[in-house]
Amino acid sequence: MLNDIKSGLRPALVLTLLFAALLGLAYPALIAGVGQLVFPWQANGSIVRDARGQAIGSAIIGQQFAGPGYFHGRPSAAGKGYDPLASSGSNFGASAKPLADRVKGDISANRPSPDVLAPPADLVTASASGLDPDISPEAALYQVARVAQARHVSTAQLDALVDQHIDTPLLGVIGERRVNVLALNRALDAAFPRP
Q: Decide: is 126 part of the binding site for other proteins (CB under 8 A).
A: yes
By CB under 8 A, the residues from 40 to 99 that bind other proteins are: 42-47, 54-67, 70, 74, 78, 82-97, 99
CB nearer to other proteins: pick between 98 and 156:
98
Maximum separation of any 2 CA atoms in the chain, in Å: 84
Nearer to other proteins among residue 65 and residue 192 (C-beta): 65
Binding mask 17-36 for other proteins (x = CB under 8 A): -xxx-xxxx-xx-xxx-xxx
- CB nearer other proteins, residue 123 or residue 148: 123
Decide if 73 contacts 133 (C-beta within 8 A). Answer: yes
For residue 51, report the phi and psi dihedrals to the nearest 5 degrees. Answer: -60, -30
Q: Minimal distance in Å, beta carbon 18 to other proteins? A: 5
Q: Which of 155, 104, 143 is nearest to 125 (CA)?
A: 104
**Cβ nearer to other proteins, comparing 135 with 148:** 135
- Under rule CB under 8 A, residue 113 binds other proteins: no
CB atoms inside a 10 Å sphere around CB 88: 16
Read off the amino acid at residue 74. Answer: R
List 51, 53, 113, 173, residue binding other proteins (CB under 8 A): 173
Residue 164 C-beta: closest distance to other proteins, Å:
18
Q: What's the burial of 1, exposed, middle or buried (CB within 10 Å: 0-12/13-18/19+)?
A: exposed
The Cα–Cα gap between 36 and 30 comes to 10
Q: Residue 104: CB partners within 8 Å, gap ≥ 6?
A: none
In angstroms, the CA 84 to CA 18 distance is 34
The answer to whether 38 contacts other proteins (rule: CB under 8 A) is: yes
Instruction: Examine residue 189 and tell whether it contacts other proteins (CB under 8 A).
Output: yes
Applying CB under 8 A, among 68, 109, 112, 118 the residue interacting with other proteins is: 118
